[in-house]
């Protein structure tokens, strides 16, 4: 970053309103070319300009204008710069030859691997220290919110004594962001700068609308939360804020993208007037592209199935919280999205064993075996820091680097068959949370692969108003030997549910989840039922060997929250996720009976490899070290057969063609 400061005592009106005071600075670079950048107000009469040079040599300030006229600046320091040192990769963009791939200015690939860092948690180190630790661990991505409760929203602060007046921005908050961006630059950590979040304009989901200073009830002018997206005054003030953000921090290559909204699907307007939300995204994306000289990427976070929302942004960012993070990975794959995508948040809202890191680990490695443009990004940053889970990311980056994964552009998921001496329990859960089921019929292969599970909703609807969201589930199973089928229900509504299972169209089992006991006092004197009136309720029944159909339905008043399916014994004790390209195949193999402490080794059949010799490298996903290596020959007509090392929890491997 190059920075110069100057004073403009003649500025009148609001210095944060670029329509009143548009201050631009023109530089002449070492090659004689001119470039113009917006300046920003920094208190009293001081203005600053920040740029990122792209060439070594001398940069000189050629002109400073105020509303297109000579600004006659005072106390300009410094008037020019001598740029030396080595170039960095640059800003992140979509690859013009492959829009599902991120690259830097220098053409090198970028694959986001990290976790969220939304705001500072009480008792945790400052965010700047955490950012440094992330960088040291090899983490290259995070996501930080502009939120009022953490003192990071420029135009809305919870401290009433430090609240800027309407149309002005908080300069102490801006200095906080100076520190964050500087720390990210030093750590080589790239991040989404989340400009807005759903709670600001929601009256129902994580609502902050009741304390929003733009709310008419609080002295503002917006009659309701939905008006934010269409009100001319709100749009003008938001543009002013975005212009300031671009002027002050747009210089930074560490900002991967401007994220227009976090989970905009939970705002009031999304539910009542989606066209206004879509139009707002078009307007703001267009404005940012006009103002941002560095052409940062633009995204938003929301459900990917709404076609109106996404044309304005550069790539898809979805969030998912489901009982089974591995099942949810398949959801984005099935959507066949037309540009780059990855999960910007994932997790289990109810994780009974967060200290193990298993949810984090499975989401990270499962997503790396998918076609997504980046790894899935874990949400619960307090869990990462309190348990020192940085090593998961260090190992993942070592695997990416040593395997040469980013040098491949043609990799697609493949199905690798595993064979183990014994069959064990197959456990899986729904791939989505509260959402309409995309699929109601599922084939459970003897390999353990469940076709369509990513499209299963977690909520089996009863006979109420939402019946059509998920009316039933039909499973096609094939047991090698007699076993059992079980489904665990996490919770119900106060009205209760009644889950019935039919085996080959005949009643097999049922579970009556009666209405909850009388409500008890909740927060603020309100009454609410217990959140889980039926802990660990399970439907279980025997299944003979062979092929069968199993139908689940709910004839009760309201939904049942499905948590986990268990088929015992059903699948090999090892499971495999993999993808393959012309010269490289990568595998992640996990132990389905890891909770027993049993080491399992098995034989794998890897399809589709051309005839030739291949180096197989087995890799420890927690220590980041190579476990073993061997050379095998593929015939080109048969699958490549290999034997795994003994696996306690999981291992990864890469298979690289020699010569």
The answer as to whether 511 is a domain residue is yes
Q: Do 275 and 300 fall into the same domain?
A: yes
Token representation of residue 214:
């733009």
The conformation of residue 649, written as its DSSP 8-state character, comes to S
**Is the pLDDT confidence value at 519 over 90?**
no
Task: Give the CATH number, domain containing residue 25.
Answer: 2.60.40.10
The answer as to whether 326 is a domain residue is yes
Task: Give the CATH number, domain containing residue 606.
Answer: 2.60.40.1180
Note the pLDDT of residue 459.
93
Task: Give the CATH number, domain containing residue 500.
Answer: 2.60.120.260
Task: Give the CATH number, domain containing residue 172.
Answer: 3.20.20.80
Q: Tell me how many degrees the CA angle 585-654-601 measures, rounded to the nearest 5.
A: 110
Give residue-wise pLDDT tens across range 434-476.
889 989 999 999 999 998 888 899 999 999 889 999 999 999 9
The answer as to whether 523 is a domain residue is no
Instruction: Give residue 479's domain range.
Output: 425-515+531-571
Q: Do 453 and 399 fall into the same domain?
A: no
Q: Are 441 and 460 in contact (CB under 8 A)?
A: no
The conformation of residue 158, written as its DSSP 8-state character, comes to S
Q: Are 389 and 383 in contact (CB under 8 A)?
A: yes
Considering its fold, how many domains does the chain have in total?
A: 4
The answer as to whether 520 is a domain residue is no
Q: Which of 60, 83, 106 is the last residue of a domain?
A: 83
Q: Do 113 and 210 fall into the same domain?
A: yes
| 41-50, 53-62, 291-300, 509-518: least confidently modelled range | 509-518
As a whole number, mean pLDDT of residues 388-405 equals 97
The answer as to whether 429 is a domain residue is yes
Q: Please state, in angstroms and rounded to a whole number, the distance separating the CA atoms of residues 296 and 289.
A: 8
Q: Do 69 and 180 fall into the same domain?
A: no
Give residue-wise pLDDT tens across range 234-274.
999 999 999 999 999 999 999 999 999 999 999 999 999 99
Q: Do 364 and 455 fall into the same domain?
A: no
**Is the pLDDT confidence value at 532 over 60?**
no
Q: Do 310 and 383 fall into the same domain?
A: yes
The answer as to whether 521 is a domain residue is no
Q: Please state, in angstroms and rounded to a whole number, the distance separating the CA atoms of residues 37 and 357.
A: 45
**Is the pLDDT confidence value at 156 over 70?**
yes
Helix (H, G, I), strand (E, B) or coil at 13: coil
> Tokens 């268990």 sit at which residue?
566
The answer as to whether 41 is a domain residue is yes
Q: Do 331 and 301 fall into the same domain?
A: yes
Give the mean pLDDT of the chain: 93
Give residue-wise pLDDT tens across range 183-231.
999 999 999 999 999 999 999 999 999 999 999 999 999 999 999 999 9
As a whole number, mean pLDDT of residues 547-559 equals 95
Query: Residues 6 or more apart from 347 whose CB is under 8 A from it?
Result: 321, 325, 359, 363, 378, 379, 380
**Is the pLDDT confidence value at 367 over 90?**
yes
As a whole number, mean pLDDT of residues 565-591 equals 95
Q: Which of 53, 83, 113 is the last residue of a domain?
A: 83
The answer as to whether 443 is a domain residue is yes
Q: Do 142 and 41 fall into the same domain?
A: no
Other beta carbons within 10 angstroms of residue 65's beta carbon come to 17
Q: Do 502 and 583 fall into the same domain?
A: no
Q: Do 488 and 537 fall into the same domain?
A: yes
Q: Do 22 and 97 fall into the same domain?
A: no
Note the pLDDT of residue 515.
72
Note the pLDDT of residue 534.
58
Q: Do 302 and 335 fall into the same domain?
A: yes
Q: Which of 571, 588, 619 is the last residue of a domain?
A: 571
pTM (2 decimals)? 0.92
Note the pLDDT of residue 526.
41
Note the pLDDT of residue 535.
59
Query: Residues 6 or more apart from 283 whose CB is under 8 A from it?
Result: 235
Note the pLDDT of residue 614.
95
Query: Residues 6 or more apart from 171 whose CB is under 8 A from it?
Result: 42, 43
């Amino acid at each position: 970053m190059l920075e110069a400061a100057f004073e403009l005592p003649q500025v009148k009106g609001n210095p944060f309103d670029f329509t009143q005071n548009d201050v631009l600075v023109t530089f002449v670079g070492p090659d004689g070319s001119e470039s113009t950048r917006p300046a920003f107000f920094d208190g009293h009469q001081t203005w600053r300009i920040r740029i990122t040079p792209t060439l070594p040599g001398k940069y000189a300030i050629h002109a400073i204008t105020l509303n297109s006229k000579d600004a006659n600046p005072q106390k300009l320091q410094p008037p020019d710069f001598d740029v030396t040192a080595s170039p960095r990769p640059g800003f992140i963009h979509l690859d013009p030859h492959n829009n599902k791939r991120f690259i830097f200015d220098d053409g090198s690939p970028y694959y986001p691997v990290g976790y969220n860092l939304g705001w500072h948690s009480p008792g945790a180190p400052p965010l700047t220290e955490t950012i440094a630790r992330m960088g040291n661990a090899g983490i290259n991505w995070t996501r930080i919110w502009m939120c009022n409760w953490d003192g990071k929203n420029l135009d809305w602060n919870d401290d009433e004594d430090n609240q800027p007046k309407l149309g002005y921005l908080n300069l102490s908050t801006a200095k906080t962001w100076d520190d964050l961006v500087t720390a990210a630059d030093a750590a080589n950590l790239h991040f989404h700068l989340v400009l807005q979040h759903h709670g600001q304009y929601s009256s129902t989901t994580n609502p902050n609308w009741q304390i929003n200073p733009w709310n008419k009830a609080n002295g503002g002018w917006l009659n309701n939360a939905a008006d934010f997206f269409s009100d001319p005054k709100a749009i003008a003030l938001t543009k002013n804020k975005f212009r300031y953000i671009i002027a002050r921090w747009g210089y930074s290559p560490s900002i991967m993208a401007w994220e227009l909204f976090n989970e905009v699907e939970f705002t009031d307007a999304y539910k009542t007037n989606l066209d206004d939300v879509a139009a707002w995204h078009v307007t703001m994306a267009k404005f940012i592209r006009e103002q941002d000289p560095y052409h940062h990427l633009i995204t938003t976070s929301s459900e990917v199935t709404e076609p109106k929302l996404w044309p304005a942004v550069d790539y898809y960012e979805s969030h998912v919280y489901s009982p089974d993070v591995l099942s949810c990975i398949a959801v984005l794959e099935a959507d066949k999205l037309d540009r780059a995508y990855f999960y910007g948040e994932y997790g289990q809202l109810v994780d009974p064993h967060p200290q193990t890191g298993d949810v984090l680990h499975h989401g990270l490695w499962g997503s790396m075996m998918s076609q997504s443009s980046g790894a899935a990004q874990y949400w619960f940053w307090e869990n990462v820091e309190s348990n020192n889970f940085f090593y998961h990311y260090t190992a993942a980056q070592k695997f990416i680097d040593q395997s040469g994964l980013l040098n491949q552009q043609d990799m697609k998921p493949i199905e690798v068959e595993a064979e183990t001496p014994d069959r064990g329990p197959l456990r899986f859960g729904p791939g989505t949370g509260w959402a309409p089921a995309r699929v109601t019929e599922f084939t459970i292969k003897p390999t353990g692969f469940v076709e369509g599970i990513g499209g299963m909703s977690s909520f089996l609807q009863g006979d109420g108003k939402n019946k059509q969201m998920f009316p039933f589930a039909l499973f096609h199973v094939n047991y090698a030997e007699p076993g059992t089928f079980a489904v665990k229900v996490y919770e119900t509504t106060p009205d209760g549910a009644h889950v019935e299972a039919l085996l080959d169209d005949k009643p097999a089992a049922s579970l009556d989840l009666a209405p909850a006991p009388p409500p008890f006092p909740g927060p603020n004197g309100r009454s609410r039922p217990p959140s889980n009136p039926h802990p660990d309720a399970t439907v279980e029944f025997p299944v003979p060997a062979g092929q069968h159909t199993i139908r689940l339905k709910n004839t009760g008043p309201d939904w049942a929250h499905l948590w986990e399916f268990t088929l015992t014994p059903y699948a090999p004790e090892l499971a495999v996720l993999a993808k393959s390209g012309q010269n490289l195949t990568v595998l992640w193999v996990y132990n389905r009976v890891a909770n027993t402490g049993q080491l399992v080794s098995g034989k794998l059949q890897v399809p589709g490899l051309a005839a030739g010799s291949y180096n197989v490298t087995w890799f420890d996903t927690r220590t980041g070290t190579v476990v073993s290596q061997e050379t095998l020959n593929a015939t080109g007509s048969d699958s490549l057969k290999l034997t795994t090392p003994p696996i306690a929890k999981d291992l990864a491997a890469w298979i690289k063609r020699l010569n």
